[in-house]
Structure 1
């Protein structure tokens, strides 16, 4: 949780006072608030699968294939799909999917 100074609105920083206790202090105003209770909480969000990012199975229906070796099963052909994932001044990212129906491994270049 983030706390703000009630007078100037700046963010309060945590620092140790002379007696060794932690306190919230403002860098502008001469105020401080002692830390009464320590809270710790983390959220671990589930990352999306690559198929969800690319549009699922529907995105792979009308794509071309090329001579690209699969790193998982060593099949010689792979489908490819190019998307602009970064800013416009950077090159497109090429995503591959193995043509072997038993493998269907996804990777990117």
Structure 2
């Protein structure tokens, strides 16, 4: 897909015909782009690093509760952070982190 640098419209492609090579063109402006026969087959994909949504500092500074029981160890003290992950008429998602072992779980 190519866009015309002059008018910004989507260019049409034309297959080789007689002495004319394959090209991109647009009917209302004079721009024409000849297509080279060299085509790159491989393109290197660079994996982007993903930043965490909740950092360790967020968990350290988060409020604590004694009413959340860890499903892994049963400890009752946990830090919690609330997120609005769905539409605003739905309840917030609460992410808990166990103070004893650092395991995470959530409650919708």
- Give me the TM-score of the superposition, normalised by structure 2: 0.55
Distance in 2, Cα, partners of 1:33 & 1:81: 56
Match of 1:51 among 47, 50, 54: 54
SS of the residue aligned with 2:43? coil
- Number of paired residues? 96
Q: 1:42 to 1:91 in 2, by over 3 A?
A: farther
- Map of 1:1-109 to 2, 5 A cutoff? 3-12=2-11, 17=15, 25=24, 29-30=26-27, 31-35=32-36, 36-38=38-40, 40-52=43-55, 55-58=58-61, 60=62, 62-70=63-71, 73-79=72-78, 80-100=80-100, 103-109=101-107
- Give me the TM-score of the superposition, normalised by structure 1: 0.55
Q: Deviations over 1:18-69 (max 9, x none)?
A: 69xxx7746xx245541544262433222223432983422x2x32232433
CA displacement at 1:12 relative to structure 2? 4.8
Q: 1:54 to 1:8 in 2, by over 3 A?
A: farther
Gaps of 5+ in 1: none
Gaps of 5+ in 2: none
